[in-house]
Chains A and B, each alone.
Chain A
Amino acid sequence: MTIPQISVFLENKAGQLADITAILSENQVNMRAISIAETADYGVLRLIVDDAPKASSILLEHGFILTMTPVVGVAVSDAPGGLSGVLGVVSRAGIDVEYMYSVFGQKDGRACMIFRVADTDVLTALLKENGIDLITGEDLGIH
Chain B
Amino acid sequence: MENYYQKEIETADREQILAWQNERLVRQVRRVWDHVPYYRAKMEEKGVAPEDIQSVEDLHKLPFLTKDDLREAYPYGLLASPLKDCVRIQSTSGTTGRRVVAFYTQHDIDLWEDCCARAIVAAGGTDEDVCHVCYGYGLFTGGPGLNGGSHKVGCLTLPLSSGNTERQLQFMVDLGATILCCTPSYAAYLAESIHERGLRDQIKLKAGIFGAEAWSEQMRQDIQNKLGIKAYDIYGLTETSGPGVSFECSEQTGMHINEDHFIAEIIDPDTGEVLPEGSKGELVFTAITKEAFPLLRYRTRDICVLSRKKCSCGRTHVKMSKPMGRSDDMLIVKGVNVFPSQIETVLLEQGYPANYQIIVDRIKNSDTIEVMVEMTPENFSDNLGKITEMEKALVSALKAMLGIYAKVRLVAPKSITRSEGKAVRVIDKRKI
Contacts and interface: CB of A to CB of B under 8 A. Distances in A.
Given A41-B410, A42-B410, A11 B415 contact: yes
B376 interface: yes
Contact of A44 (B377, B387, B409): B387
B309 interface: no
A63 B377 contact: no
A67 B384 contact: no
A66 B413 CA distance: 11
A37 B377 CA distance: 18
B412 interface: yes
Contacts of B375: 9, 42, 65
B412 A66 contact: no
B381 interface: yes
Chain A: number of interface residues, binned into ranges: 20 to 34
A26 B197 CA distance: 59
B392 to A, nearest CB: 11
Contact of B412 (A7, A11, A99): A11
A66 B411 contact: no
Contact of A16 (B383, B388, B410, B412): B412
A9 B383 contact: no
Please indicate which of the listed interface residues A10, A42, A43 has the most CB atoms of chain B within 10 Å of its own CB. Answer: A42
A15 B59 CA distance: 61
A109 B376 CA distance: 41
Interface residues of B, number: 18
Contact of B414 (A63, A69, A116): A63
A5 interface: yes
Contacts of A11: 410-412, 415
A65 B412 contact: yes
A116 B381 CA distance: 12
A138 interface: no
A46 B375 CA distance: 17
Contacts of A5: 382
A7 B383 CA distance: 9
Contacts of B409: 41-42
B380 interface: yes
A9 B384 contact: no
Contacts of A116: 382-383
A77 B361 CA distance: 54
A27 B432 CA distance: 50
A5 B382 CA distance: 9
Contact of A65 (B383, B385, B388, B413): B413
Nearest to B374: A65
A5 B411 CA distance: 22
A108 interface: no
Contacts of B412: 9-11, 16, 63-65
A119 interface: no
Nearest to B382: A7
Interface string A1-43: 0000101011100001000000000000000000001110111
A5 B383 CA distance: 12
Interface in A32-89: 37-39, 41-44, 46, 63-67, 69
Given A9-B375, A65-B377, A98 B413 contact: no
A43 B380 CA distance: 11
A42 B387 contact: yes
B410 A44 contact: no
A37 B380 contact: no
Nearest to B412: A11
Nearest to B385: A98
B355 to A, nearest CB: 13
B413 A37 contact: no
A9 to B, nearest CB: 5
B388 A67 contact: no
A56 to B, nearest CB: 12
B414 A37 contact: no
Contacts of B380: 7, 9, 65-67
Contacts of A65: 375-377, 380, 412-413
Contacts of B414: 63
Given A9-B375, A65-B375, A65-B377, A39 B413 contact: no
Given A37-B384, A39-B388, A44-B384, A67 B410 contact: no
B361 to A, nearest CB: 16
Contacts of A46: 382
Contacts of B413: 63-65
B384 A39 contact: yes
14 contacts: A7-B380, A7-B382, A10-B412, A11-B411, A11-B415, A16-B412, A38-B384, A39-B384, A41-B410, A42-B387, A65-B375, A65-B377, A66-B377, A67-B380
Given A11-B415, A39-B388, A44-B382, 16 more contacts: A7-B380, A7-B382, A11-B410, A16-B412, A37-B384, A39-B384, A42-B387, A42-B410, A44-B381, A44-B387, A63-B412, A64-B412, A67-B380, A67-B382, A116-B382, A116-B383
Interface of B: 375-377, 380-385, 387-388, 409-415
Interface of A: 5, 7, 9-11, 16, 37-39, 41-44, 46, 63-67, 69, 98-99, 116
Which 9 A-B residue pairs are closest in the complex by CB-CB distance? A7-B382, A37-B384, A11-B412, A9-B375, A69-B382, A65-B380, A42-B410, A11-B411, A44-B384
